[in-house]
Amino acid sequence: TVEGVKFVYDFTEGNKELKDLLGGKGANLAEMTNLGLPVPPGFTITTEACKVYLDSGEEPAALRDEVSAHLDALEQRMGKKLGQADDPLLVSVRSGAKFSMPGMMDTVLNIGLSDKSVQGLAKQAGDDRFAWDSYRRLIQMFGKTVLGVEGELFEDALEAAKTAKKVTVDTELEAADLKKLVTKFKRIVKTEAGRDFPQDPREQMDLAIHAVFDSWNTDRAKLYRRQERIPGDLGTAVNVCSMVFGNLGPDSGTGVAFTRDPASGHQGVYGDYLQNAQGEDVVAGIRNTVPLAELESIDKKSYDQLMQIMETLENHYKDLCDIEFTIERGQLWMLQTRVGKRTAGAAFRIATQLVDQGLIDEAEALQRVTGAQLAQLMFPRFDDEAKVQQVGRGIAASPGAAVGKAVFDSYTAVKWSRSGEKVILVRRETNPDDLDGMIAAEGILTSRGGKTSHAAVVARGMGKTCVCGAEELEVDTKRRRMTVPGGHVVEEGDLISIDGSSGKVYLGEVPVVPSPVVEYFEGRMHAGANDADELVEAVHRIMAFADRKRRLRVRANADNAEDALRARRFGAQGIGLCRTEHMFLGDRRELVERLILADTETEREESLKALLPLQKQDFVELFSAMDGLPVTVRLLDPPLHEFLPDITELSVRVALAESRQEPHENELRLLQAVHRLHEQNPMLGLRGVRLGLVIPGLFTMQVRAIAEAAAERKTAKGDPRAEIMIPLVGTVQELEIVREEADEVIAEVEAATGVQLKLSIGTMIELPRAALTAGQIAEAAQFFSFGTNDLTQTVWGFSRDDVEASFFTAYLEKGIFGVSPFETIDRDGVGSLVKLAVEAGRATRPDLKLGVCGEHGGDPESVHFFHEVGLDYVSCSPFRIPVARLEAGRAAS
């Protein structure tokens, strides 16, 4: 089946577009080779070979010969043979998948060394120590990554050798010491792996190649892929590269560099260099590196060449690149490059800088930033200038900057926050019992658990700052204290500060500054002004690119004038969802309660009469805040229990009154009514249109309030553009009944006021049945707005109020989904229904207006989906509007 397939590519044969086949590392090595940059010769074994190996347990039949042919060519080119006794060619074997994966095996260096060839290497290099050091590194890396020997055994032996010699750094070990260490390492391999360290260089290479293939399927790699939603069947490529040595003396070394500052985006010389060292020494922090700029005085020729290469790479990749290089006796070699990671702020700056340099256009600039980065820039952060005392660092689980008094249990968190204290909930790890405390706290800090731990998942869901897995902190919940490195004890009530964007934990109160980006969106800071900082300038320009490109309009979910005005400042083009139940909280809740529980027509009418002017005033304010822009008002949709007294509390009150023989007729009547209306599943109960249909006069009161408010605004020369939306419709019949009544009321108001209102009436699509019968529903609806919160709840059968705190952690850990379907639209399930409803709705009514107002409307990935299925707009909370604008622009370019 694999006949004629090519499994091995020389570096001269590939290019950067071939990442699927050659992996990221291999594709970029090929690209650099073809740019004429000094890359040590080598070849890449494709991901296809890996796939065959993983499927069948054996490497493809043709692979061995192909590898042999490429190895031959390499040997000819280098003028020496792999492992040749008197002058060995040595190679590195490195994994390299399409996406870089920290869960995978990385590199085995110095393949080709053996008891014999180590002598040859020593002679050729004129350096015994170097040769034996290289050999011990090979056995160590090979033993660990290929033969599965516990790495610590080697490290302990190395430590022991240093101790015996009374030295502290391994460069102080001499050839004779290293020779002894090699014997010891070989013995460890024999005991632990049950086999000798292979002396045949080709066997070393083949085993290392298989080990790289196998590393695709380690538990860690699988978990990482599931979480990051990297497909499990991509496989990894393997790079075989001739060795160059940075550890051949002071004229050798190794380093990393960035073509510009990954923190600010500024061009300049950024990186680190370590003289007389191999790559893993830099990572291991064995000796201190020097700033790259110092290379100029160490080796001017190599430095100049490196600077020139960096410029070539930037112009070629048209982006910030990061680089690994080695200098071997004054000769510079490029070992790796890739488009480099950067901070959120730098991403915006670099994108605009590259536009100014003429390297990329606006559409491309939009691909260089993400909504997630913009969201990150919108969180308040700690003042850079502040003096801080950092005491730990964990995982940046949910961004933001939080300051508060440390509390060690949920109960105290709630109690203290009720009395007005700001608290940080500190736990070893959290569980569902901590939920109240998490809600009450400013932020959450745990000493255990990763990005998908309960604390992290729940905090992100709540938009609350969270640092988790800060392992240096010893949290003692029993004694209500935590001990930080150095022994200082943080007692309950002591102030601490946590940074959910960096994972840092500080003692005391670190001052918080508002995000300059939010100041800009709020209109308190202006781009183009003298004092505007570069970041604001860059964000301003990128937003303009996005607004020019996007097709989707962006509206806000807002229920009051204040939110509406903010939304407008943030660029909202209307309100996509005004939840009228939010207008009945607080003092007005009782009015609704009375309406719901009304026994007689008179009672009901009285409560409606009391509600009407309040509702009307709400709408007048909202319509004036959004003058000239559409405002979708949704008729009441509360789960009943939210508006009724708590059944337990009420029962207790009645029982108490009874035992004290106090009068309690009203309470009893209320209790009976609450019992009558009590639902086991309120979310699936009497809510939305159902409530409108069983409580006469409720929806018509709301429609009247909308119509009268609109008429008043028109009379006042305003431009109200109200749209009336019916929630939780499952069948067109429900909608027809409500519409008929609504049309009547609107006609009445028009007649009474003499104003033409042109109100449109539409519905939410938030039940599977509504989506499945969207063609019929569109007969009665002028617009659809997808309620993807309820749609997700009902399609999955997941209670939106419960699951995130109960079993989602387990689901995320098992990789069933990488992100909650309440956060990012489930394209395959919920998304299919959306698509179907869009098509059916437009087939019935070609000018049907389509939007979405579930939480997904502000989620970057979901915005792309809504663009693809052809919605007209997304609607989201005011703070997410810039993100939605940006992502809509990205989706369209």
Q: Which partner, Mg ion, ligand PEP, none, binds residue 788 by CB below 5 to 8 Å per kind? A: ligand PEP
- Point out which span in 11-19, 674-682, 784-792, 806-814 binds ligand PEP (CB under 6 A): 784-792
Do 107 and 42 form a contact (C-beta atoms < 8 A)?
Answer: no
Nearest distance from C-beta of residue 581 to ligand PEP, angstroms:
8
**Position of minimal CB gap to Mg ion:** 790
Nearest distance from C-beta of residue 859 to ligand PEP, angstroms:
12
Residues 795-814 that bind Mg ion (CB under 5 A): none
Nearest distance from C-beta of residue 766 to Mg ion, angstroms:
5
Return the number of the residue (292 or 725) whose C-beta is nearest Mg ion: 725
Nearest distance from C-beta of residue 787 to ligand PEP, angstroms:
3
How far apart (Å, rounded) are the C-alpha atoms in residues 58 and 61? 8
For residue 394, CA distances in Å to 381, 446, 447, 717 come to 17, 8, 7, 57
Burial (CB < 10 A; 0-12, 13-18, 19+), residue 421, is middle
Nearest distance from C-beta of residue 617 to Mg ion, angstroms:
25
Give the pair of three-digit tokens for residue 441. Answer: 């706290």
**How many CB atoms sit inside 10 A of residue 535's CB?**
20
Pairing of strands 512-513, 553-557: unpaired
Burial (CB < 10 A; 0-12, 13-18, 19+), residue 172, is exposed
Nearest distance from C-beta of residue 764 to Mg ion, angstroms:
6
Return the number of the residue (42 or 638) whose C-beta is nearest Mg ion: 638
Return the number of the residue (790 or 859) whose C-beta is nearest ligand PEP: 790
112: Cβ contacts below 8 Å, ≥ 6 apart: 82, 83, 88, 89, 90, 91, 201, 204, 205, 243
Q: Nearest-CA neighbor of 242 among 85, 93, 49?
A: 93
DSSP string for 130-155:
HHHHHHHHHHHHIIIIIT---HHHHH
- Point out which span in 241-249, 413-421, 620-628, 781-789 binds ligand PEP (CB under 6 A): 781-789
- Judge whether 36 is annotated as a binding position: no
How far apart (Å, rounded) are the C-alpha atoms in residues 510 and 389? 9
Q: Which partner, Mg ion, ligand PEP, none, binds residue 854 by CB below 5 to 8 Å per kind? A: ligand PEP
Q: What is the 3-state secondary structure (H, E, C) of 614-661?
A: HHHHHHHHHHHHCCCCEEEEECCCCCHHHHCCCHHHHHHHHHHHHHCC
Rg of the chain (C-alpha set): 33
Residues 744-773 that bind ligand PEP (CB under 6 A): 766
- Judge whether 790 is annotated as a binding position: yes
The answer to whether 790 contacts ligand PEP (rule: CB under 6 A) is yes
DSSP-derived letter for residue 855 is G
Tell me the site size for Mg ion, rule CB under 5 A.
3
Return the number of the residue (48 or 790) whose C-beta is nearest Mg ion: 790
Q: Which partner, ligand PEP, Mg ion, none, binds residue 702 by CB below 5 to 8 Å per kind? A: none
Question: Pattern 712-751, binding to Mg ion, x per CB under 5 A?
Answer: ----------------------------------------
Sign of the CA dihedral with 721 first, then 722, 728, and 734 last: negative
Q: Is 320 helix (H, G, I), strand (E, B) or coil?
A: coil
- Point out which span in 306-314, 331-339, 755-763, 788-796 binds ligand PEP (CB under 6 A): 788-796
- Judge whether 788 is annotated as a binding position: yes
Q: Is 496 helix (H, G, I), strand (E, B) or coil?
A: strand
- Judge whether 690 is annotated as a binding position: no
What are residue 517's phi and psi, to 5 degrees?
-70, -40
Return the number of the residue (463 or 493) whose C-beta is nearest ligand PEP: 463
State the virtual CA torsion across 730, 732, 737, 739 in degrees, nearest 10: 100
For residue 690, CA distances in Å to 82, 177, 607, 737, 759 come to 78, 84, 19, 11, 22
Return the number of the residue (30 or 635) whose C-beta is nearest Mg ion: 635
Return the number of the residue (581 or 887) whose C-beta is nearest ligand PEP: 581
- Judge whether 704 is annotated as a binding position: no
Return the number of the residue (215 or 792) whose C-beta is nearest ligand PEP: 792
How far apart (Å, rounded) are the C-alpha atoms in residues 273 and 250? 12
Return the number of the residue (41 or 768) whose C-beta is nearest ligand PEP: 768
- Point out which span in 249-257, 401-409, 506-514, 787-795 binds Mg ion (CB under 5 A): 787-795
Nearest distance from C-beta of residue 760 to Mg ion, angstroms:
20
The answer to whether 855 contacts Mg ion (rule: CB under 5 A) is no
804: Cβ contacts below 8 Å, ≥ 6 apart: 457, 458, 461, 820, 822
Nearest distance from C-beta of residue 218 to Mg ion, angstroms:
43
- Judge whether 766 is annotated as a binding position: yes
Kindly list the catalytic residues: 454, 853
The gap from C-alpha 432 to its chain's centroid, in whole angstroms, comes to 23
The gap from C-alpha 220 to its chain's centroid, in whole angstroms, comes to 19
Do 540 and 527 form a contact (C-beta atoms < 8 A)?
Answer: yes
Give the pair of three-digit tokens for residue 151. Answer: 């790495």
Return the number of the residue (107 or 788) whose C-beta is nearest Mg ion: 788
Question: Pattern 49-78, binding to ligand PEP, x per CB under 6 A?
Answer: ------------------------------
Do 59 and 49 form a contact (C-beta atoms < 8 A)?
Answer: yes
Cα of first residue to Cα of last residue in the chain, in angstroms, is: 39
- Point out which span in 261-269, 327-335, 648-656, 787-795 binds ligand PEP (CB under 6 A): 787-795
Return the number of the residue (281 or 618) whose C-beta is nearest ligand PEP: 618
Helix (H) or strand (E) holding 707: helix 698-715
Q: Which partner, ligand PEP, Mg ion, none, binds residue 853 by CB below 5 to 8 Å per kind? A: ligand PEP
The answer to whether 577 contacts ligand PEP (rule: CB under 6 A) is yes
Tell me which of 312, 789, 832, 893 binds ligand PEP, using CB under 6 A: 789
Question: Pattern 746-785, binding to Mg ion, x per CB under 5 A?
Answer: --------------------x-------------------
For residue 291, CA distances in Å to 262, 265, 304, 855 come to 15, 18, 15, 46
Nearest distance from C-beta of residue 858 to ligand PEP, angstroms:
12
Nearest distance from C-beta of residue 465 to ligand PEP, angstroms:
24
Give the pair of three-digit tokens for residue 122. Answer: 């020593």
Tell me the site size for ligand PEP, rule CB under 6 A.
10
Tell me which of 788, 809, 820, 824 binds ligand PEP, using CB under 6 A: 788
State the virtual CA torsion across 489, 493, 496, 500 in degrees, nearest 10: 120
Do 246 and 126 form a contact (C-beta atoms < 8 A)?
Answer: no
- Point out which span in 127-135, 264-272, 324-332, 786-794 binds ligand PEP (CB under 6 A): 786-794
Nearest distance from C-beta of residue 373 to Mg ion, angstroms:
30
The gap from C-alpha 825 to its chain's centroid, in whole angstroms, comes to 14
Residues 635-694 that bind ligand PEP (CB under 6 A): 637
The answer to whether 563 contacts ligand PEP (rule: CB under 6 A) is no
- Judge whether 14 is annotated as a binding position: no
The answer to whether 790 contacts Mg ion (rule: CB under 5 A) is yes
Tell me which of 787, 831, 857, 878 binds Mg ion, using CB under 5 A: 787
Residues 830-859 that bind ligand PEP (CB under 6 A): 853-854
Q: Which residues are annotated as a binding site?
A: 579, 634, 766, 787-790
Which residue ranges make up the site for Mg ion (CB under 5 A)? 766, 787, 790
Q: Which residues are annotated as a binding site for Mg(2+)?
A: 766, 790
Which residue ranges make up the site for ligand PEP (CB under 6 A)? 577, 579, 637, 766, 787-790, 853-854
Q: Which residues are annotated as a binding site for substrate?
A: 579, 634, 766, 787-790
